[in-house]
Structure 1
Amino acid sequence: MDFKTVSTIGLESSPVAQALAGLRANEARYFWNKYKHEFVTEPAANNPAIVARVNTILGERDTHFETAPLEVSDFEVAGVR
């Protein structure tokens, strides 16, 4: 993700695509500034294992979302996944 140019690519189906794009750019900026890691997302449908892992973690905390995820990211940086 290019945090200097906020893009709604991959988020077009959301009624709040602009807000999501801003949040995603903020995450990209954070990981670049803190770890010099390039933040990359992919469509959630391309990696259902990530979605399942996150849903398991959220379920353990009794947290659930009504909408399906549009994009996912999975990486390890500085020993944190």
Structure 2
Amino acid sequence: MPIDAVSFTDVTTEGLESSPVAEALAGLRANESRYFSTKYKHTFTVAPAAESPEALAWVEEILASERDIVPTSPALEVSINDVDGIFWVHVFYESGLAINVLWTRADDGKRAVGFKLSQGMDVPPELSAFKFARQKSKLAGEIRGSFFKIKGDHPLPS
């Protein structure tokens, strides 16, 4: 499985070329990489979505069961990170949408789904009920983000 470290100093669209907002999505992916490097001293890596079917299915099952959300765009890449007792899965979609699931391993920990929209993309119909806050990023331009807390139990993928 090719797993590539994501650079936040040399931003590339590799793996995201089919996205109509590939440059902005690459910037958003690099922004995530910088966050993990700065906060956790952790290298953020991605693999093609087809090579991480369990993690992708886990994210999409949480979306469907918690909020009846079914992404309408193909998943391009998946990133799996396990740092400081937190299991994270990021999925980057062709539309420019990035979804991450944060799952703190402690029983009383935080569990949430975050959505980030690349600059230049419209809010997808399946997320129209959410309000999005705006954030400026040197790497990604303007990122619009939202989230919801996970209430149910969803066993971690193997």
Q: Which bracket does the TM-score occupy, shorter chain normalised?
A: over 0.9
| RCO comparison, higher one (Cα < 8 Å, 6+) | 1
Aligned residues: 81
Instruction: Work out the CA distance in 1 between the residues paired with 2:36 and 2:67.
Output: 25
Unaligned segments of structure 1, at least 5 residues: none
TM-score, length-scaled by structure 2? 0.50
- Give deviations 1:58-81, integer Å, cap 9, x for gaps: 112222221011000112100000
Deviations 1:20-41 (A, max 9, x none): 1000000000000000000000
Give the number of the structure whose residues are more often strand, by fraction.
2
What's the Cα RMSD here? 0.8
Q: 1:67 is paired with a residue of what secondary structure?
A: coil
Shift of 1:13: 0.9
1:27 aligned to 2:57? Answer: no
Distance between the aligned counterparts of 1:63 and 1:22, measured in 2?
A: 25
**Which runs of at least 4 in structure 1 moved beyond 6 Å after TM superposition?**
none
Q: Which has the higher helix share?
A: 1
| CA shift for structure 1 position 9 | 0.4
Residue among 66, 73, 77 paired with 2:79: 73
Which residue of the other structure, out of 20, 39, 43, is the alignment partner of 2:44? 39
Cross-structure match for 2:68: 62
- Say yes or no: does 1:5 pair with 2:10: yes
Identity %: 56
The one of 53, 57, 61 equivalent to 2:58 is: 53
**TM-score scaled by length of structure 1:** 0.94
| Structure 1 CA distance for aligned equivalents of residues 9 and 67 of structure 2 | 34
User: What displacement does 1:16 show?
Assistant: 0.9
- Return the match for 1:18 from 19, 23, 44: 23
